[in-house]
A = this chain, B = another copy of it.
Amino acid sequence: MADDQLSRAFTALADPTRRDIVARLSLADATPGQLAEPFAMSLQAVSKHLKVLEEAGLISRTRDAQRRPCHLETAVLDEMTAWVDRYRRSAEERFRRLDAVLAAMDDDVQDDELQDNHEDQQDEDEGAPSP
């Protein structure tokens, strides 16, 4: 996995066990023991999943005697929706413009064919990954 914030977040939610943990933590804080109870896996395995979620910034942990209650943090969830929504909107806006162009071509059907060359690509987000 790449070591940037967004990669950690998407990786964390790529596992169904971790998504289930997030879903339950959205309802109430819980200890590792409580979170592990419904799963057919060891507490140690759940502890590893919690570590992944914590390093992604999706959860935080406090201390209560031996217990380490887990708390869902929403800031990284916000960043994820922001990323996904940005490119979804960008794509849908482009499709909308394309539809408009096609409609205009229908209107101008007596004219010559339009040549649409789109050689424009830019990237203001992540640059090329290091090899």
Contacts and interface: CB of A to CB of B under 8 A. Distances in A.
Interface of A: 1-2, 4, 6-7, 10-11, 13-17, 19-20, 22-30, 34, 38-41, 60, 62, 64, 69, 71-74, 77-78, 80-81, 83-85, 87-88, 90-92, 94, 118, 120-123, 125-131
Copies in the complex: 2
Contacts of A92: 74
A45 to B, nearest CB: 10
Contacts of A83: 13, 19
Contact of A20 (B19, B85, B94, B128): B128
A26 to B, nearest CB: 4
Given A16-B129, A40-B131, A72-B91, 6 more contacts: A7-B15, A10-B13, A11-B11, A16-B126, A19-B83, A81-B84
Q: Which 8 A-B pairs have the closest CB atoms?
A: A10-B14, A26-B90, A26-B87, A11-B14, A77-B88, A26-B91, A10-B13, A28-B118
Contacts of A30: 121
